[in-house]
Amino acid sequence: MFLIGFPAAAFATNCFVVAPSEGEECLIIDPGVGVVDRLSEVLRTHRLKPAAVLLTHGHLDHTYSVTPVCGERDVAAYIHTDDRYRLENPADQLGEELRLMLTAQFGGLEWTEPSDIVTFSDRQKLDLAGLSVEVAHAPGHTEGSVLFTVEHLPDSLPEDSGLARTIFAGDVLFSGGIGRTDLPGGDDAAMQASLRDVVLTMPDDSLVLPGHGPATTIARERTANPFLAHLT
């Protein structure tokens, strides 16, 4: 599987481009702040044609560029039904701290929601760009936070990695951490349930690509993540 990830210009949000191989259709996951030019370069260099934009949740740092990316290439934005409302005006869902930071750095936000939005639900399989993506609903960071699982690994990994699949974890699970629950729509009890019933039930041989920070694995987080220790 071809995969490239790079951080956005703000909040270090990871944007991912994934495809069966170079020169084919691809999926764009979480296009955040200031990714449009870099994304265009990646698509051009690797001869990729976007088939859809997938959103792990509706926070602005993951959706900031979704409308220009979808509009320029005439593709739909996919989001869990419980976070659909966030695409109406995601700035309204920010805490005051993040709103002030965004205004100071980028002069605020003029928002238009994507013209084509597709919603999905828990355990739904999305067959897009030659890939089968399974949705796991994991609320807590937001009401509609999800993890996307693809039963393939990046070509860059060695064959003896011991891993079997790739999970795009959004802001549910990080290397050594978890997503915050103190923003509007966050729920600590729901997050604890998601970590116990969704994250910890995933196979250890899963590569995890979080919405922020470095890659990890389910095995590593199960044993080393302090936010999971009391749940195991």
**Tens-place pLDDT, residues 160-180:** 999 999 999 999 999 999 999
Reduced to 3 states, what is the DSSP secondary structure of residue 156?
Answer: coil
**Tens-place pLDDT, residues 6-50:** 999 988 999 999 999 999 999 999 999 999 999 999 999 999 999
**Tens-place pLDDT, residues 97-123:** 666 777 776 666 678 999 999 999 999
Sequential DSSP letters for 178-232: E----STT--HHHHHHHHHHTGGGS-TTEEEEESBS--EEHHHHHHH-TTTGGG-
Q: Give, as one character, the DSSP assignment of residue 34.
A: T
Residue 2: how many CB atoms within 10 A of its CB?
Answer: 18
Residue 48: how many CB atoms within 10 A of its CB?
Answer: 24
**pTM for the predicted model, two decimal places:** 0.95
* pLDDT tier, 89 (very low <50, low <70, confident <90, very high otherwise): confident
Q: Residue type at 71?
A: G
